[in-house]
Amino acid sequence: MNRTKISFAGSGALASGLARLLHAQGYAIGEIVSREAPASRRRAASLAHKVGAKAVAWSAASLDCDILWLAVPDGEIEKLARQLAGRRQLPAIVLHPSGALSSAVLAPLSRRGVHTASAHPMMTFVAGEPPSLKGACFAVEGDAVALRKARETARKLGARCFAIDPANKALYHAFGSMLSPMLVAELAAAEQVGLAAGVPKAEVRRVMEPIVRRTIGNALRSGAAASLSGPLVRGDLATIAAHLKALGRTPESRVYRALTEYAAEVLPVKRPEETKKLLRRRSRTISH
């Protein structure tokens, strides 16, 4: 059994997912460190109970571990690193899982001799859903010792790693946002259109599931260009115009127009210039 001891700062969805997965792989989870607020303490205690760890506030944390994950909101990581750098006892390795920030935010710890890296799992973590990183990828960058441990940890979880240029972290995180939260936003818009069209509420997601799964599978297997279908591929401007008229001034109409315009720019749309003109005409009509 792997006796590497790992502690977590934070107990949100990502920290909870990682801690549970690492615990299942035989890692010893030392402390779940939280803020003093009662809600934070309760979340930490709940997670600690699941992974055989100790829930502690920062004032009582020993940080007696091999690896400390700073799984806190991005805006708190640098401040927390500065606070930690003032402590006498520090772990050998500190990692943060931010997709947007580089390991440079951990510089105060690096100056204390701590090995630091960022290791971001390209995966969604949602409360109430069982976590899995099997087949997922971690984007990693940092010093050699910390990277070696991050890669080893990812392998234990069934994931792979690739090196990311620190200068590209924000763009990489935008990539991830488009793969999950923005995809969810598009599906939310589609669901509202389905409901407006009279699809029963109890059925709408069942109607959505087969076509969404097939479309995503096609795009991942064959690429977006080969997977495009519908009126855009046929150049059926009358149908697109009917869609725009039916959507009217709804928030969903803005989603439809933005995605149609993007498709006309980069995908094999038939009559792309005429499609863009139709969108501009419709936009002017709505604005008046």
Query: Tell me, what's the pLDDT at 197?
Result: 98
Please determine, for residue 71, whether its predicted confidence score (pLDDT) is greater than 50.
Answer: yes
CA distance 191 to 240: 18
In this prediction, residue 219 has a pLDDT band, given cuts at 50, 70 and 90, of very high
In this prediction, residue 1 has a pLDDT band, given cuts at 50, 70 and 90, of very low
Query: Tell me, what's the pLDDT at 288?
Result: 59
Query: What would you measure as the largest C-alpha separation in the chain, in angstroms?
Result: 71
Contact 105, 95 (CB under 8 A): no
Query: Tell me, what's the pLDDT at 287?
Result: 63
Query: Tell me, what's the pLDDT at 127?
Result: 81
Q: What percent of the chain has pLDDT over 90?
A: 94
Give the global pTM. 0.92
Residue carrying the six token digits 């020993």? 62
Sketch out the chain's domains with CATH numbers.
5-167 (3.40.50.720), 179-287 (no CATH)
Average pLDDT over residues 68-75: 97
Average pLDDT over residues 25-29: 96
Tens digit of each residue's pLDDT (9 = 90 or more) over 80-128: 999 999 999 999 999 999 999 999 999 999 999 999 999 999 999 988 7
Q: Give the number of other CB atoms < 10 A from CB of residue 188.
A: 12
Residue-averaged pLDDT of the chain: 95
Average pLDDT over residues 38-42: 94
Query: Tell me, what's the pLDDT at 61?
Result: 95
Tens digit of each residue's pLDDT (9 = 90 or more) over 10-19: 999 999 999 9
The two three-digit tokens of residue 125, written as one number:
């973590």
The SS3 of residue 235 is coil
Query: Tell me, what's the pLDDT at 244?
Result: 97
The two three-digit tokens of residue 39, written as one number:
């809600």
Please determine, for residue 176, whether its predicted confidence score (pLDDT) is greater than 60.
Answer: yes
For residue 19, the cross-strand partners are none
Query: Tell me, what's the pLDDT at 269?
Result: 97
Please determine, for residue 2, whether its predicted confidence score (pLDDT) is greater than 60.
Answer: no
In this prediction, residue 79 has a pLDDT band, given cuts at 50, 70 and 90, of very high
Please determine, for residue 286, whether its predicted confidence score (pLDDT) is greater than 80.
Answer: no
The two three-digit tokens of residue 254, written as one number:
């803005």
Residue carrying the six token digits 């806190």? 72
Average pLDDT over residues 158-169: 98
In this prediction, residue 24 has a pLDDT band, given cuts at 50, 70 and 90, of very high
CA distance 246 to 6: 55
Helix and strand element counts for the chain (H, E) = 13, 8
Q: Which residues contact 116 (CB under 8 A, 6 or more apart)?
A: 93, 94, 95, 103, 106, 107, 109, 110, 142, 143, 146
